[in-house]
Chains A and B, each alone.
Chain A
Amino acid sequence: MDFIIAKYNYWIYIILMMIGFYAMIVKNNLAKKVVGMNIFQTALILLFISTGVKTGGATVPIVIGDAHGHAIPGTLHAIDYINPLPHVLMLTAIVVMVATFGVALALLIMIFKRYKTIEEDEILEIRRKEAFT
C-alpha cells in the first residue's frame, strides 16, 4: 500500500495514459479519439514533471546573483531547487501537442465535410458502399 501512496503521481500517470490509449483504440467517434490522444499526451507531461520533483522543501529555482548576474558563491544549492529541465522539455512538448491537436481538428472538419459524420463505422460503411458503386 505504501508503494502505491508514495508514488501516487506515477500511478495517476499510468491510469491517465491507459484511459487515453483506450479511447484512441476503442472509441468509434473520431472526436473522442482526439480527446483520448490529448489525455495520453497530458499523462506524459505528468510523468516528466514528476521526475523533476525533490522531496524536502525544494522550490522553484531562482538564481540569486549580483548586479551583473554572477551567482554569489554559497547561495545556490542544487538540493534546494527542483530540477527545472523536465519543465522546459514539457513546454516544448506542449507546443508539439497543441500543433498535433490543431492538425487533428482540421482533419476532423475535412472528414465531416466529406462524409457528414465523424463516427468511424459509418464512414467505413460509406466508403464500402462507394467502392461498390
Chain B
Amino acid sequence: MSTQYPALIVIVPLMSALICFVVGWWNRNFCYKIAVAAIAVSFYSSVVTMKDVMANGVIHYWVGSWEPPWGIEYVVDYLNGYMLIIITFISLLAVIASKKSVEKDFPEKAPAFYSIFLLLVTGLVGITITGDVFNVYVFLEIASIAAYALIAIGKRDHAPMASFNYVIYGTVGACFYLIGVGYLYMVTGSLNMADLAKLLPDLYNSKVVLVGFAFLLVGVCIKMALFPLHMWLPDAYSLAPDSVSSLIAPLMTKVSAYVMIRIMFTIFQPVFSFEMLPVGSICGWLAVIAIFVGGIRALAQKDLKNMLVYILVAEVGYIVIGISVGNRIGLTGAILHIMNDAAMMACLFLIVGAIAYKTGITDITQFRHMNQKMPFTMAAFTITALSMVGLPPACGFFSKWYLVLGAINANQWVLVVTLLISSLINAILFFRVIEYAYFYPHPEHGAEEHVHATSHGHAEIVMNEAPLSMLIPILIMATLILVLGPFSGKIISSIIQFAIPAGF
C-alpha cells in the first residue's frame, strides 16, 4: 500500500471530481465534504511520500507497471516532493475557506465548482509529480481548462471576457510547450525526462534542440505570466471569484516556475541553459521589467484585489531572478521563494475573500476601522504585509536574502538594486492599506470625530469577524508565515539543498 502513495496524490482528487459531480445531483451539501476529504487525502499522501523520499531517496513510480522510457513514470525527488506538499496544503486551506463564499455567491453551481476545483488540483499535482514531458502537457491543460472555467463561474461582470483572453494566451502557451516536446521527441525519440537528460547532451549543438528548448521556455513563460507575456493575468485573476483566486493566484504561477526549473536544470543541463545560451540574462532583464511594471501598476490600483494581482506579476519576477542568476544560492532563493510567495499570496487572497464576504468592501480607501471590524483578519494581513516587504522574522525576508546574495554572487548589480527597490515599492503598497485600516482617521482627527459621534450615540464599531471556516485558514497561513521564516535554514539544509541538481 505504501508504495501506491505517489499515485494516490493524483488519483484521489481526479476520481473525487467525478464523484462530486454525480453526488451533487441529489445532495449539493456533500460536494464540499468530498472535496475537503479528497484534498486532505492528497495532502496526507504527499507528506508520506516526502517522508519516504527523505528516508530512502528518489521514488520512481511506474504507472501501470510500464517500464520507462516507454511507460509514464512518476518521479518524486526533493524538489517536487516539496512542491507537492505546498500545492496540496494550500489547496486544502483554499477549499476549506471556499465554503461560505460559494454558498453566498453561487450555491446552485456548488457541484460543478467543487468538481472543477478538484480537477484543477489534479492538474497542479500532476504537473509536479510526473516525470514525462508529454504528461506535463496533459496536466498543464487539465489545470488550465479547469482554471478557465473557474474564472468564469462567478457572477463578476467582464469575467467571461477575461477568461476568454486567458484561453487564447494559455492555448498558445500550451501549444508552444507541445511543439518543444515534439522537437525534442524528433531528435531523441524519448519523452521521459530522465531519459531526455541522458540523450540530450550529445545533441546540444543541434538546431532542432535549440528551437525545442526555446519553444518549451516561451510556452512556460506564458503560463507563468512573465513580462511581457503577463497580459492575461491581471484581468483573469482579479475578476475570478474570491474562492477561486485564493487557489489559482498562489499556485498556477508557482507550478509553472517549477516546470521552468525542471526544463532548465533537469531536462537540460545548466551548462546548456546558462553557458551556451543567454537565457539567464534575457530572463533576468525580463524579470527586472516585470518587477517594475508590476509594482508601478500596483501603485495605481485602488482595489485591493487588483493591487494584489499586479504584485503577483512582480513576484513572478522574483522567482525568475533567482533562476536566472544561474548559481546555487540564487536557485535556493528561488525555490524558497516559491514556498514563501505561495504562502503569502494564499494568505492575502484568503483575506481579500474574507473581507469581501463579510463587508463587501474591496476598495482600499474604504478600509477605515477595518482593524476594529475584523481584528484577526487584519492582524494576519499585517503579518503578511511585513513578510511581503521583507522584515526579518517573517519568511519573505529569508528568500529575498538568498535572492539578493545570489545576484551579488553573479555580479548582477541591476538585479540587486531591483530587488531592494521592489521591497520599498511593496512597503508603500502595503503600508498604504495598513494606514487606511488602522490609522484612518488620524488620531487627532479621530478623537474629535469620536466625541462628535458619541453625542449622536452611535460611535461603537461592532466587531464583525469572518466565519471560522475562513478565519482559521487565514490564521494558519499567517502563523506559518511567521514560523517558516526562522525555520528556513532547516528547510534549506534538509530539503532544498538536495533539490538543486548536484554539481551546480
Contact = CB atoms under 8 A, between A and B. Distances in A.
A53 to B, nearest CB: 11
Contacts of A106: 149, 152
B172 A44 contact: no
B74 interface: no
A98 to B, nearest CB: 10
Interface string A108-133: 10110011000000010001000000
A40 B172 contact: yes
Interface stretch (B80-88, B155-163, B318-326): B155-163
Contacts of B174: 96
Interface residues of B, number: 25
A103 B161 contact: no
B164 A107 contact: yes
A47 B168 contact: no
Interface class of chain B by DSSP: helix
Interface in A63-103: 86, 89, 92-93, 96, 99-100, 103
A44 B178 contact: yes
Interface string B125-140: 0000000001001100
Which of A30, A44, A86, A115 gathers the greatest number of chain B CB atoms within 10 Å?
A44
Which of A44, A107, A110 gathers the greatest number of chain B CB atoms within 10 Å?
A107
B341 interface: no
A99 B167 contact: no
B85 to A, nearest CB: 28
Contacts of B167: 37, 100, 103-104, 107
Contacts of B158: 114, 127
A93 B178 contact: yes
A107 B160 contact: yes
B148 interface: yes
A107 B152 contact: yes
B182 A37 contact: no
A111 B168 CA distance: 15
A9 interface: no
A51 interface: yes
Contacts of B168: 24, 33, 37
B163 A100 contact: no
A126 B439 CA distance: 39
Contacts of B37: none
A30 B164 contact: yes
Nearest to A127: B158
B166 to A, nearest CB: 9
A29 interface: no
Given A92-B138, A103-B167, A47 B160 contact: no
Contacts of A93: 137, 178
A107 B148 CA distance: 9
B149 A103 contact: yes
Contact of B172 (A24, A107, A110, A127): A24
Which of B145, B167, B174, B186 gathers the greatest number of chain A CB atoms within 10 Å?
B167
B185 interface: yes
A92 B179 CA distance: 15
B138 A48 contact: no
A35 B134 CA distance: 24
B152 A44 contact: no
Contacts of B161: 111, 114-115, 123, 127
A132 to B, nearest CB: 15
B185 to A, nearest CB: 7
Contact of A99 (B141, B157, B164, B179): B141
Contacts of B186: 51
Given A24-B172, A37-B171, A47-B179, A111 B164 contact: yes
Contact of B182 (A30, A48, A114, A123): A48
Interface of B: 134, 137-138, 141, 145, 148-149, 152, 157-158, 160-161, 163-164, 167-168, 171-172, 174-175, 178-179, 182, 185-186
Interface of A: 21, 24, 30, 33, 37, 40-41, 44, 47-48, 51, 86, 89, 92-93, 96, 99-100, 103-104, 106-108, 110-111, 114-115, 123, 127
Given A24-B172, A86-B185, 6 more contacts: A41-B171, A44-B178, A93-B137, A104-B164, A110-B152, A111-B160
15 contacts: A41-B171, A44-B175, A44-B182, A51-B182, A51-B185, A92-B138, A96-B138, A96-B174, A100-B141, A100-B148, A100-B171, A103-B148, A103-B149, A108-B164, A127-B158
